[in-house]
A and B are shown apart, each in its own frame.
Chain A
Amino acid sequence: AQSVTQLGSHVSVSEGALVLLRCNYSSSVPPYLFWYVQYPNQGLQLLLKYTSAATLVKGINGFEAEFKKSETSFHLTKPSAHMSDAAEYFCAVSDRGTYKYIFGTGTRLKVLA
């Protein structure tokens, strides 16, 4: 069965510092991979997605993620954190056969002034 692991339920970074949120998946076949962001009292919004076209994926708000098959990872990065990036981030996989969607447990990002 597929699973998604997000390391670190809470991550704090200083404004202007690098953001790195970790996501590992388990699957015998590379699934579709996604990162979503959730701001307080809102639904989830898609940041970016990996669909096998390119291993480095660029998303909205300056975020990007790199798919590494050998490490079964899809870590999310942003070179310089802004206060507005404070939110909860979810990694998700979609099984290409069953269409089942699996979310990680989420990482709450705090940006310090």
Chain B
Amino acid sequence: KAGVTQTPRYLIKTRGQQVTLSCSPISGHRSVSWYQQTPGQGLQFLFEYFSETQRNKGNFPGRFSGRQFSNSRSEMNVSTLELGDSALYLCASSSGGRGTQNEQFFGPGTRLTVL
């Protein structure tokens, strides 16, 4: 099976712009989670989508949003970018269903730099 893919791998934006990141999960996986990783804050959970519905949410401002499509692919959007949004954004997929072990499989990440 192909692994989790994320596009683009690298992105440079300026303050005030918006950005959309994409994640394609492992075939058959219905859950997609997004994380922000920075040297100062570590790995922080943004949100999780399961079968096109947001199932869990972290403590990020409303500038961070996401969605999931019927094929389980997910996108994450950040509006009005700030310098502090510079980070590695990781996507993880899992089967996510009831009774599963919820093992997550991670993509390589998208490195976002905000200038």
Contact = CB atoms under 8 A, between A and B. Distances in A.
Interface of A: 32, 34, 36, 42-46, 49, 51, 90, 92, 94, 98-103, 105-106
Given A99-B31, A99-B48, A43 B108 contact: yes
Interface band, chain B: 20 to 34
A106 B56 contact: no
B21 to A, nearest CB: 13
Contacts of A99: 31, 48, 50, 55-56, 96, 102
A51 to B, nearest CB: 5
Nearest to A49: B103
Q: Is chain B's binding surface mostly helix, strand, loop or mixed?
A: strand
A103 B35 CA distance: 10
A94 B103 CA distance: 8
B48 A106 contact: no
Interface centre among A51, A92, A101, A103 (most CB of B within 10 A): A101
